[in-house]
Amino acid sequence: MSISMPKRMTVVVSVATVWTKPESPRPMDEPALKHPARIREWLGRMTLNDKLDLCIANRVQTQILYGSVVLVVEEVMKEGEGWSKVLIPQQGTRKDALGYPGWVPSCQLVAAKEAPVGSKRAEVIADKAWLYKNPTERSIELSYLTSLPVLEATEQWVRVQTPEGVGYLSVDDVRLIDGLLASGVGEAHIGRGIVEQGRRFLDLPYLWGGMSSFGYDCSGFAYAMHKYFGILIPRDASDQAKQGTFVEKEQLEPGDLLFFAHEEGKGAIHHVGIYAGDNLMIHSPETIKSIEIVDLSTMNLAKEHCVSRRYWK
């Protein structure tokens, strides 16, 4: 059923996986479809071939974090379960001007609430952080860069407004920001800061469509490392390669994005990495690997480098 006016809804699971269509998930994907989403269980039960199939069969589009607002434009029932077609405003794409499109189980969304007027937001800057129902009872394990409105801050806890009521985050796991994006992050060279944030996730396994610290794909990794510094770039590598500032190969600085295309750089763009200085690149390479730093002169994609872009200044 199409909806005449998009409905503002909020993600109510730690990580909502956005599927290509309601028929895309397999029986093994059941943990990722529930409320709460059991993201670790889902990742743990997939074999390498199962993970490859997410891409090969075009099952997954992207992911969204707890507390993120989406626009629901269509709702359907499949085998007794509700599904919502969403647009994700913070994930820019040429696919839709209103935001990245895809389908999520309706049980993973609730009606969006307005944040308290003038409130700051608590953004997770630990690799992962527990949201507590109260200071002694854990509720949900949240990803890096999950952001929630602040109700009160004390020396130990930040009390936040969650999609399901009041929650608590440890002050050690978050920073307070004034809006949806951080600004004025104290970094002398933001490009180097992007690289340093990326280094925190070395050895994290690649996940097709991944947009959380439970697993990133190549463009999701670039997107998140920029978002830490309040820089919102497009979701997909093919769109990222068309914006930002063009950078000549001889002028590369840490934090610049390197794009790779089929047919030795002449075909469709299929990969992005972050230049790390000294002819090195940090990237989330492919399903069979984890986030790594590679030497550009010897890596197997060297001949496919087609363009470089800078978003950080």
Residues classed as catalytic = 218, 271, 283
DSSP H/E element including 119: none
Whole-angstrom Cα distance, residue 257 to residue 255?
6
Contact 59, 53 (CB under 8 A): yes
Which amino acid makes up residue 104?
V
Cα separations in angstroms, 244 against 74, 143, 144, 232, 267: 33, 27, 24, 11, 20
Whole-angstrom Cα distance, residue 131 to residue 159?
10
Q: Inter-axis angle of helices 190-199 and 218-227, to 10 degrees?
A: 120
Token duo for residue 191: 């490009």
Tell me how long the chain is. Answer: 313
DSSP H/E element including 210: none
Instruction: Give the alpha-carbon dihedral of 197, 199, 205, 209, to 10 degrees.
Output: 30
Phi, psi at 265, each rounded to 5°: 90, 0
Whole-angstrom Cα distance, residue 64 to residue 18?
7
Question: 3-class DSSP state for residue 167?
Answer: strand
Class of residue 252 by CB neighbours under 10 A (exposed 0-12, middle 13-18, buried 19+) = buried
Which amino acid makes up residue 308?
S
Whole-angstrom Cα distance, residue 284 to residue 220?
9
Tell me which residue of 37, 31, 41 sits closest to 11, measured CA to CA.
Answer: 37
